[in-house]
A and B are shown apart, each in its own frame.
Chain A
């Protein structure tokens, strides 16, 4: 009764959580061109899409995905046999445990007339499926530990899932082990299935069960009539109870626990372990929508959606925010994306976890769900996001079929709109002299380089620019300086930047348009009669500015903002420019 009630309460809470999670998808905003979708529109359009898909030939594509990607999990196999094996073991072990064991009354009993949990092959299979999950978990842990050396591979979500799964498995095996030697369990069964027989018979059965079925009795059985015991067993028990040897994991565990058996039997361990096992299972069910367990639902959904409605080719990806929200929930933090990420090596110099797609996604998800993020988190997220080169490899590799490329494209838009664009964007916030003022106000003298790797700052050593004779050839060949008509000319010329360095006024150059609008075409450097590395110096000034200006960017608002034109000039202006 308590059990049924708590099952239905948990089930209701599970569905409630599911609903909350799915409604959350509709509140997601990502990119600057997408808006939220209303509940009615969302439900209506999804129903329409589902119906249309079911009636179209795409249904075959979905079925193919169901077999290859969800059933056989081929996308995982692409990323390594051990990874695939681990996941197959966990997936099928757990799924079969749920179907055969947890839902035995509804599923197994309906399929097999003479089903009993204590009968083979069910007894054996329960251990086998449990062993599969354990093997899978062990492989997954090893994989995570191995990857952990390269980058942060495991987060809280992964741990919660592992702990919940571990508790379910552990309590299950423990329960079975304790039940094997449990005297109370024997008594209950004897009372239920043997009826009121005489004392001698019971003693005989006890002898048989203590020798053959590993039960531990507080009072050693008074009889040693094994033959009668066996007969009684065959008559009353054998039809529903196989030998415990089939429980190939629980029996050895039970034998290990044997020294504690009397105490455990006395304290009714089988009962409270039973409550614990069910409790953990119900807890997992309630938490499913809010833990990594959710990928059980979201990944198949994401994969099938991709088959039904494949993303459009570049450069116009699909932009349905609710669908992207579902996809973000289908991330299992497996880390495949980060293993193959094109810019991952950069993290060894710039120690920002947001460079890695698997870590960046957590931040992007919060951003899309409108969660408040601290400025320093946003800054770090922006840095990681704009270091991404959109090489598409994460998207091609993702076993859950996430449109990561689209997510990165859109999250960059969101970050830029939130005033966290890449350095080229935020440097425009102030003019060069205003930046110089801010640097002067800046309370502490910031070390130029906190990188553990040495940074070669060419602009730091006078030899690189002292030979400048201000001949202005660099300025004359510069395509940015000559761009002129219709556009705001740069605030200073390359030659003036070199002069600022010579005058030891570098701070005045750091935020200048010339430094940030340099196209790095190297014409100046190639033409310099004095062999000055003009372009390399401008590059270096950007390196320094990225760090130093970032630090004074968030200083109080006392300096007025003078926004410089960022947007395209009107078409007429551009036409005149031609």
Chain B
């Protein structure tokens, strides 16, 4: 199975380490990635115009279909939006016709069979924990990690079909592969607050604080994310808008691709850990320095 790497809009400028780390991890696992010039998934414009959002998503899927690839996203919001569009395109003939008539100008067509996969699903279901475990060279024993799910991959459950929307386990299982301990924490399924960032900052930052506090209370050394927006919120936004200078910068956030890559023994140039605004390396080094 070939995957087309879907970076989304924020990664190239705001979170380049998400791309380099993902590519490096997948290289270790011998996964071939196709590079297509995708457009925006449509998630940001859905507030204004759902049809425009669905067209955006459909165009991406149609591009991947042309190359006979599955779409691989590393962002829960891109994933959710593509899944949302696919769900309604499959269900609603009239919508499908409208969208396909717009895509026809570029000789593109949306078809039901296009697969959308999140990085976590690819790692867990397509690769399998055993294959991942075999690649771990630097097990992270003793590291307590809070896995933050990201709303749009989990819900609406019957649309995205990612994991059980109420009691998911995929992320914790993947964290366990690295040797780290996935802590049980409140609010692991809640919103990071980023959808309201720069729209209603007090509320956005409040939701962020709630999550951080919950992770800290559970004794996590790190929060791990598998979503562009969650990571931006937990790292860049928190760094720029610290609510309580010191305490709230703990625990730092790390992308799961970085965490897994670190356990694979990959190098900094791939992982881009120094690109994270809040230092997460010290926590990783603590457990690997024996």
Q: A391-B13, A523-B155 are in contact. Are A486 and B206 (CB under 8 A)?
A: yes
| Any B CB within 8 A of the CB of A278 | no
Q: A405-B13, A517-B196, A525-B156 are in contact. Are A483 and B46 (CB under 8 A)?
A: no
| Any A CB within 8 A of the CB of B113 | no
Contact with A along B187-211 (1 / 0, CB 8 A): 0011101011001111101110110
- How far does the Cβ of B110 sit from chain A's closest Cβ, in whole Å? 13
Chain B interface, >50% SS class: helix
Q: Is the CB of A342 within 8 A of B39?
A: yes
Expressed in whole angstroms, the Cα–Cα distance for A451 and B203 within the complex equals: 33
- How far does the Cβ of A259 sit from chain B's closest Cβ, in whole Å? 48
Question: Residue among B9, B10, B94, B202 with the most chain A CB within 10 A?
Answer: B202
Expressed in whole angstroms, the Cα–Cα distance for A331 and B217 within the complex equals: 53
Q: Is the CB of A340 within 8 A of B49?
A: no
Q: Is the CB of B202 within 8 A of A568?
A: yes
| Any A CB within 8 A of the CB of B236 | yes
| Any A CB within 8 A of the CB of B142 | no
Q: Is the CB of A314 within 8 A of B13?
A: yes
Contact with B along A81-96 (1 / 0, CB 8 A): 0000000000000000
Q: Is the CB of B45 within 8 A of A391?
A: no
Q: Is the CB of B13 within 8 A of A521?
A: no
Contact with B along A299-327 (1 / 0, CB 8 A): 00000000000000011000000000000
Binds B, one of A135-143, A345-353, A493-501: A345-353
Contacts of A565 in B (CB 8 A): 202
| Any B CB within 8 A of the CB of A131 | no
Q: A487-B202, A525-B156 are in contact. Are A348 and B102 (CB under 8 A)?
A: yes
Contact with B along A439-451 (1 / 0, CB 8 A): 0000000000001
- How far does the Cβ of A143 sit from chain B's closest Cβ, in whole Å? 18
| Any A CB within 8 A of the CB of B166 | yes
**Nearest-CB residue, chain A, relative to B209:** A578
Q: Is the CB of B203 within 8 A of A487?
A: yes
| Any A CB within 8 A of the CB of B213 | yes
Expressed in whole angstroms, the Cα–Cα distance for A387 and B12 within the complex equals: 17
Q: Is the CB of A574 within 8 A of B205?
A: yes
Binds B, one of A9-17, A417-425, A554-562: A417-425
Contact with A along B3-30 (1 / 0, CB 8 A): 0000011101110000000000000000
Expressed in whole angstroms, the Cα–Cα distance for A341 and B37 within the complex equals: 10
Q: Is the CB of B48 within 8 A of A542?
A: yes
Expressed in whole angstroms, the Cα–Cα distance for A524 and B189 within the complex equals: 13
Q: A526-B157, A568-B205 are in contact. Are A543 and B50 (CB under 8 A)?
A: yes
- How far does the Cβ of A564 sit from chain B's closest Cβ, in whole Å? 10
Q: Is the CB of B191 within 8 A of A453?
A: no
| Any B CB within 8 A of the CB of A45 | no
| Any B CB within 8 A of the CB of A522 | yes
Q: Is the CB of A456 within 8 A of B92?
A: yes
Q: A314-B14, A521-B191, A526-B156 are in contact. Are A343 and B199 (CB under 8 A)?
A: no
**Nearest-CB residue, chain B, relative to A348:** B102
Binds A, one of B51-59, B117-125, B175-183: B51-59
Q: Is the CB of B55 within 8 A of A521?
A: no
Q: Is the CB of A454 within 8 A of B98?
A: yes
| Any B CB within 8 A of the CB of A577 | yes
**Nearest-CB residue, chain A, relative to B240:** A315
Q: A487-B202, A526-B165, A578-B213 are in contact. Are A340 and B191 (CB under 8 A)?
A: no
- How far does the Cβ of B235 sit from chain A's closest Cβ, in whole Å? 11
Q: A522-B152, A526-B155 are in contact. Are A389 and B44 (CB under 8 A)?
A: yes
Question: Residue among B46, B152, B213 with the most chain A CB within 10 A?
Answer: B46
Interface residues on A, range: 35 or more
Q: Is the CB of B50 within 8 A of A519?
A: no
Contact with A along B151-168 (1 / 0, CB 8 A): 110111100000001100
| Any B CB within 8 A of the CB of A569 | yes
Expressed in whole angstroms, the Cα–Cα distance for A482 and B236 within the complex equals: 25
Q: A348-B55, A483-B206 are in contact. Are A423 and B151 (CB under 8 A)?
A: no
Expressed in whole angstroms, the Cα–Cα distance for A423 and B46 within the complex equals: 12
Contacts of B46 in A (CB 8 A): 539
Q: Is the CB of A392 within 8 A of B206?
A: no
Quick one: which of A404-458 are within 8 Å of B by CB? Answer: 405, 422-425, 451, 453-456
Contacts of B42 in A (CB 8 A): 346
| Any B CB within 8 A of the CB of A546 | yes
- How far does the Cβ of A406 sit from chain B's closest Cβ, in whole Å? 11
Contacts of B209 in A (CB 8 A): 574, 577-578
Q: A315-B14, A455-B50, A523-B190 are in contact. Are A346 and B40 (CB under 8 A)?
A: yes
| Any A CB within 8 A of the CB of B95 | yes
Q: Is the CB of A483 within 8 A of B207?
A: yes
Q: Is the CB of A454 within 8 A of B47?
A: no
| Any B CB within 8 A of the CB of A29 | no
Expressed in whole angstroms, the Cα–Cα distance for A127 and B240 within the complex equals: 61
| Any A CB within 8 A of the CB of B243 | yes
Of the candidates B52, B207, B243, the one whose C-beta lies within 8 Å of that of A519 is B207
Contacts of A525 in B (CB 8 A): 155-156
| Any A CB within 8 A of the CB of B130 | no
Expressed in whole angstroms, the Cα–Cα distance for A540 and B9 within the complex equals: 23
Question: Residue among B56, B199, B207, B243 with the most chain A CB within 10 A?
Answer: B199
Of the candidates A390, A423, A516, A577, the one whose C-beta lies within 8 Å of that of B206 is A577
| Any A CB within 8 A of the CB of B141 | no
Contact with A along B227-247 (1 / 0, CB 8 A): 000000000100011011000
Q: A345-B56, A391-B12, A483-B206 are in contact. Are A575 and B244 (CB under 8 A)?
A: yes
Quick one: which of A381-408 are within 8 Å of B by CB? Answer: 383, 387, 389-393, 395-396, 405
Of the candidates B47, B50, B157, the one whose C-beta lies within 8 Å of that of A456 is B50
**Nearest-CB residue, chain B, relative to A340:** B37
Q: Is the CB of B10 within 8 A of A350?
A: no
Of the candidates B48, B55, B154, B248, the one whose C-beta lies within 8 Å of that of A453 is B55
Of the candidates A390, A546, A574, the one whose C-beta lies within 8 Å of that of B13 is A390
Q: Is the CB of A456 within 8 A of B51?
A: yes
Expressed in whole angstroms, the Cα–Cα distance for A344 and B45 within the complex equals: 12
Expressed in whole angstroms, the Cα–Cα distance for A516 and B56 within the complex equals: 23
| Any B CB within 8 A of the CB of A479 | yes
| Any B CB within 8 A of the CB of A520 | yes
| Any B CB within 8 A of the CB of A273 | no
Of the candidates A314, A519, A568, the one whose C-beta lies within 8 Å of that of B195 is A519
| Any B CB within 8 A of the CB of A125 | no
Q: A425-B199, A519-B196, A521-B191 are in contact. Are A342 and B47 (CB under 8 A)?
A: no
**Nearest-CB residue, chain A, relative to B16:** A314
Q: Is the CB of B50 within 8 A of A539?
A: yes
Q: Is the CB of B39 within 8 A of A453?
A: no
Quick one: which of A454-496 are within 8 Å of B by CB? Answer: 454-456, 479-480, 483, 486-487
Q: Is the CB of B47 within 8 A of A546?
A: yes
Quick one: which of B77-126 are within 8 Å of A by CB? Answer: 88, 92, 94-95, 98-99, 102
Q: A391-B40, A526-B157 are in contact. Are A578 and B191 (CB under 8 A)?
A: no
Q: A422-B199, A516-B200 are in contact. List 8 more A-B contacts (CB 8 A).
A: A343-B40, A345-B59, A346-B49, A395-B13, A455-B49, A480-B207, A517-B200, A533-B156
18 of the cross-chain contacts (CB-CB < 8 Å) are A343-B56, A344-B39, A346-B40, A350-B49, A391-B40, A396-B12, A453-B51, A456-B51, A456-B88, A480-B203, A480-B207, A519-B196, A526-B156, A526-B157, A533-B156, A575-B244, A577-B243, A578-B209
Residues of chain A whose beta carbon lies under 8 Å from any beta carbon of chain B: 314-315, 340-346, 348-350, 383, 387, 389-393, 395-396, 405, 422-425, 451, 453-456, 479-480, 483, 486-487, 516-517, 519-523, 525-526, 533, 535, 539-540, 542-543, 546, 565-569, 571, 574-575, 577-578
> What 6 pairs between A and B have smallest CB-CB spacing?
A522-B155, A392-B13, A389-B9, A391-B9, A424-B199, A349-B52
